[in-house]
């Protein structure tokens, strides 16, 4: 996360779908708010595939509609 305020509130536990490639993180989003979710970074690489290969660091930023 970038900050607590920019990370959505969790609404369940993360899980992988049957394809074993898709990870789902249930969240509750607020209207008119900007969110930032980081998958891995140079410092943290705990998000990995089944073979233990770390995902490429990625920052997802989006804003919900008012």
Mapping DSSP onto H, E and C, the string for 31-48 reads CCCEEEEEECCCCCCCCE
pTM for this predicted structure: 0.78
Beta partners for 53? none
pLDDT 10s digits, 50-65? 899 999 999 999 999 9
Note whether 47 and 40 are within 8 A (CB).
Answer: yes
Residue 1, pLDDT score: 62
Q: Is 52 helix (H, G, I), strand (E, B) or coil?
A: coil
How far does Cα 20 stand from its chain's mean position? 16
Average pLDDT over the chain reads 91
For range 12-32, the mean pLDDT: 93
């Amino acid at each position: 996360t970038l900050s607590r305020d920019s990370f959505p509130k969790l609404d369940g536990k993360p899980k992988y779908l049957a394809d074993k490639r898709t990870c789902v993180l249930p969240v509750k989003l607020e209207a008119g708010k900007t969110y930032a979710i980081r998958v891995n970074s140079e410092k943290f690489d705990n998000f990995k595939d089944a073979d233990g290969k770390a995902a490429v660091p990625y920052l997802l930023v989006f804003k919900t509609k008012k």
